[in-house]
Structure 1
């Protein structure tokens, strides 16, 4: 075997839509990293290892034995892939036990969609594309985002592959609550969300029916709580969220100080004896707001020039 699998490949790239000067419908793919007619996995040395993750006190949080992995992979990579991305209930026959199964699940799903959508010129082009992609993934030259590994090819799951969604909201209670549902379902399947809340009236404005508006910072508490409650992709990873407010919004000072104010509360709880760790039920940071989102201020060119 050559030192590098690319040494075995045909040195002439065949990618492109032209062959013998004629334009063909669909994409054409040749081999670059893998030899013609070969399977990407045949170029890899495989072994079986135990994936295990322990907590701060050494307690076993996750373990899966006899996991088939490339010999070149680090133990950290194996632990993350087995815990986060392998599908199927632990200890059941449906549980994935090999990196081959994980990669095949995703690649074969994408290839199937490509064939159904007539993206490839021929079945051979589709197979070449799939083997090249397998090689890039199994050698860690490239990787998909988490939603792809969580969802693609898994029966009964939304085939949601995008990592981040930008959602809008209107200044009405119906829209504010609809955003809760939208974000929750996106979090469920492993994606993150971002929303600019500047359209919401400030806490200094009067409501038509009497009283004062809650303001965006108040509603952010609810959004943040749902993000912390929903495990992204059905795993132990928290949801990823971004909240934006324009620099000229009347509540911008409250928005800027919101995280720092909650941090002071967390330290007061820590001094009172609460657990200092993150993601600890009942701990200091589990008891305060705004731990699940990035807060960003949107500024204009005029603002930056002025300051």
Structure 2
């Protein structure tokens, strides 16, 4: 018996109570083929035959899982790759259960068996899904003996009370989709621009995304300690953008995902705000010359800034000036050099605000992030060193999608609960008991992924272990409301959504 015994019980798999049989026997299975082609050229992208899925899966689900999440190499057997959803569910869940056993969270024997069956059932029944890196990385060595290389990944060892280097890529797992990296104004060493290249590449390789606030990097024209002047922030952002694009193009998992944040007081804020809008002008010009302007076409591959979401960090002070522009139309905002006051200047607030809105209207970038509001809601303002509201302990960035807002050098692994799997549209009944049980089961999977997780830098390994951020969300909320006949913006829908989100 473990402390978790009260919640580890058969709920979805009661049919297996006291019986011989496997959880996979609770499903009917079918075989199908997956053939995907480039819609313009007809080039075959995926061609897999005789794949196995539950009969309830639509072809589109089979296409996505087989093309994106089946392991394509190194799997024992004649095919050399995964051919069944059984294999995918088994390798992930077996890893989570083994991790929780190692952590002492659950007991071996019946408890571990129940947890395995419940999680496998939930995955196969499409009740929940973990984030993409789990599908890509989790359980590959445990089930298939795939080790990968030794790529300087790290984890915190509680027995040694220190961060150590992982022995290979897949004994542990890079399970987190969301990372926030720190960066300092230096070329080499920990938290440097060069380390940023390496850390981002490690994350993209494993299918993760990253966000960084680059406001510490000195602006163009600021003096360098060895003489001369800095080439500026934008030159480094363009280099990192190219690195993300190259990793995306050569990767086997997913596109690179980046969030680039910049504070409103950085001297290069105007160039940053208009970066993507200016690149769009180039795409339009190239398209007129006959170059392919499709998302993956040569026009967009030629220009910069296409591999990240960009956000401007607005302070309350700046926004108050915006709100007061009718009374004080000449209000200014101070741009400050990072090391060198020679680049300081005052810029009209209206100019920056109009520039921001025009650029966002033209190409949906940059987005706003309200820095002081984020930090007013900060749950860990003392960080790991106890310095409350110190700059390094503030929320300075988010992950690429923006839902993970936390300390730099941390990560978060996600999962989503499919609300429609708990709703009976005929009786208009939502199964709260099953939903609550699923929350417990999914949270254990996320916890397991931290315990046996690994990370690109020692700092991220240490702080992820300490703060243990997880993101259990929900999906199909709009479908639930539609099936229930509730307007999305109604009081009833808002109340139900709030209750389900907790």
TM-score (norm 2): 0.54
2:328 aligned partner: none
Alignment of 1:178-217 (within 5 A): 178-217=195-234
Question: Does 1:55 pair with 2:32?
Answer: no
In the aligned structure 2, how far is the partner of 1:138 from the partner of 1:214? Answer: 53
Alignment of 1:83-162 (within 5 A): 83-89=67-73, 93-154=79-140, 155-157=146-148, 158=169, 159-162=173-176
In the aligned structure 2, how far is the partner of 1:200 from the partner of 1:277? Answer: 33
2:300 aligned partner: 285
Kindly indicate whether the alpha-carbon contact (under 8 Å) linking 2:293 and 2:300 is maintained by their aligned counterparts in 1.
yes
Q: Which sits farther off after the overlay, 38-47 or 57-66?
A: 38-47
**When the two structures are aligned, how many residues end up with a matched partner?**
282
Instruction: Give deviations 1:264-287, integer Å, cap 9, x for gaps.
Output: 11111111111122234xx11111
Superposition deviation, residue 40 in structure 1 = 3.0
In the aligned structure 1, how far is the partner of 2:239 from the partner of 2:99? Answer: 38
Kindly indicate whether the alpha-carbon contact (under 8 Å) linking 1:53 and 1:61 is maintained by their aligned counterparts in 2.
yes
* Structure 1 residues 54 and 93: CA distance shift in structure 2, 3 A: closer
1:165 aligned partner: 179
Kindly indicate whether the alpha-carbon contact (under 8 Å) linking 2:244 and 2:256 is maintained by their aligned counterparts in 1.
yes
Instruction: Give deviations 1:160-187, integer Å, cap 9, x for gaps.
Output: 0000111111101111111101111111
What is the CA RMSD across the aligned residues, in angstroms? 1.9
5+ long unaligned stretches in structure 1: 1-23
Superposition deviation, residue 113 in structure 1 = 1.1
In the aligned structure 2, how far is the partner of 1:71 from the partner of 1:150? Answer: 24
In the aligned structure 2, how far is the partner of 1:92 from the partner of 1:263? Answer: 48
Superposition deviation, residue 252 in structure 1 = 0.8
* Structure 1 residues 246 and 60: CA distance shift in structure 2, 3 A: same
In the aligned structure 2, how far is the partner of 1:53 from the partner of 1:40? Answer: 31
Residue 11 of structure 2 is aligned with which of 5, 28, 32? 32
Kindly indicate whether the alpha-carbon contact (under 8 Å) linking 2:279 and 2:305 is maintained by their aligned counterparts in 1.
yes
Residue 224 of structure 1 is aligned with which of 215, 229, 241? 241
Ranked by relative contact order (alpha carbons within 8 Å, sequence separation 6 or more), the top structure is 2
- SS at 1:243 equivalent: strand
Superposition deviation, residue 233 in structure 1 = 9.7
Superposition deviation, residue 53 in structure 1 = 1.1
- Deviant stretches of 4+, over 4 Å: none
Alignment of 1:6-25 (within 5 A): 25=2
- SS at 1:66 equivalent: strand
2:367 aligned partner: none
2:434 aligned partner: none
1:20 aligned partner: none
2:320 aligned partner: 305
